[in-house]
Amino acid sequence: MQIIPAIDIINGKCVRLTEGDYSRMTEYSNSPLELAKIYEANGIQRLHLVDLDGAKAGAVQNWTVAQEIAAQTNLIIDFGGGVKSREEVNRIIDLGIAYVTVGSVAAKNEALFIQWLEEFGSDRFLLGADVRDEQIMVSGWFEKMDISILPFLDKYHQQGIHSVFCTDVSKDGRLEGPSIDLYKKIKSHIPTLNLIASGGVTSIEDLYALDEVGCSGVIIGKAIYENKISIEQLCDYILKNN
């Protein structure tokens, strides 16, 4: 199971929200680039980079941060937040970023997303499935769609999407543990899906529980910032399990 630290960006700075609420934001001292370099120096290979300004605005905003991290590290990056146009997809790929993270477009404009899959290849996208009560949330978690998680994943798995990260919005930033039952349900429904867990991870024990479920990766954010899980612990986990 891959360890994937999250760096969430507002105004070029590292932040964390609680349950996606922009009014419940904590700002951290490290610059995104400094933090990415720390992760890389400690053996981390993947990075989940989120433009929260972009998610709110409906268009990517923090291009400079993405460009710096892509240019100055060798991390395998997925980047998204407000991606709505072919031009943005192309620009992200041109930066050398491995995966374009797409959520809202996939939920609200199926035809456009399928067009992107055909043009760029499904392996260039990481589908974001953010949920509350198993219903898809979009637009920076401001809007709840009348779309259930399992049919949503089924549809795009049939279109060639193999990798998905799923965030239970009610868990995110609360440090109360991940949605194990939800991930069990998804893996039972689509066993071949590369499922990346996101939201609520608090302890090393959570990592082993998610590994047991069959998750292929786990995104960790606030638990690292708040030192609930140290980078040293993550390094030990990686060494023992790879």
**Catalytic residue numbers, as ranges:** 8, 130
Answer whether 55's CB lies under 8 Å from 32's CB.
no
Q: Which two tokens stand for residue 200?
A: 């609520």
Q: Which residues contact 152 (CB under 8 A, 6 or more apart)?
A: 106, 107, 129, 136
Tokens representing residue 192 in the block: 């071949």
User: Left, alpha or beta for 66 (phi > 0: left; psi -120 to 50: alpha)?
Assistant: alpha
Identity of the residue numbered 108: K
Q: How far apart are CA 203 and CA 228, in angstroms?
A: 6
CA–centroid distance for 82 within its chain: 13
**Counting Cβ atoms within 10 Å, is residue 24 exposed (0-12), middle (13-18) or buried (19+)?**
exposed
